[in-house]
Amino acid sequence: MRLLMVEDEERLAQSLSQGLRAEGYAVDVVADGRHGLDRAREGDYAAIVLDLMLPGLNGFRVCQELRRDGNPVPILMLTAKNGEYDEAEALDCGADDFLSKPFSYVVLTARLRALLRRGGATRPTVLSVEDLRIDPVARRCTVAERELRLTVKEFGVLECLARRCGQAVPKIEILDAVWDSAFRGDVNIVEVYVGALRRKLDRAGARCAIETVRGIGYRVVPRAA
């Protein structure tokens, strides 16, 4: 899942984004409100972590503009310590939840998981392809009800393909979905993870497979009988 973090405190943004990336999220970080609004409008984000006090546009304005656009993306707003009026205004302007600084990283990730569950109306809670089950929020994957152990990036690639089961997904779209904008490597890194996934699915006896679509990318399909 791709997240957008709009936070101008560099050290805080760096530590939060590193932690979230380690948990399997792709995180884009911007440091001002105007740029954050543009990125939110352009990108397909599962959720936004939005600071209140930002240069350019503050968090209230960013949130209001997105809601005027009809953008339903879940927004977790970071407010000042003991700022009860800020918290009330955050909810009134369209934020889904708020968290007062300073906060616990454990609480932040729990709030995000709750937002992703509630905000999943347009996304299946659990993805299914034959006997493969993927739970993006719980970060759990099973084959025939037996857990399939995947690395963070393997999980992301498989989730991306399963969301478009039967469709050819270009490598660059997989890269955009699983790796964040800070990645500067070769798009062919996707091949490495697809190869690892194929081996794991084969060993698990999964009734689905990842096909190569020559000149485009990959697709996940039911395995031929």
pLDDT surpasses 50 at 30? yes
pLDDT surpassing 50 at residue 10: yes
**What pLDDT shows up at residue 82?**
62
Provide the edge-to-edge strand list for the sheet that holds 208-213. 169-170, 217-222, 208-213
Instruction: Give the lowest-confidence range in 23-32, 181-190, 213-222.
Output: 181-190
Distances (CA, A) of 174 to 1, 81, 103, 165: 11, 39, 33, 13
Tens digit of pLDDT for each residue in 145-160?
Answer: 999 999 988 999 999 9
With 0.85 as the threshold, say if the pTM is over it: no
Q: What is the largest CA-CA distance in the chain?
A: 61
197/116: higher pLDDT: 197
More confident residue, 60 or 183: 60
87 vs 222: which has the higher pLDDT = 222
Q: pLDDT > 70: what percent of the chain?
A: 94
Per-residue pLDDT tens digits for 59-81: 999 999 999 888 889 999 998 76
CB under 8 Å to 14, separation ≥6 — which residues? 29
Res 83 pLDDT > 60: yes
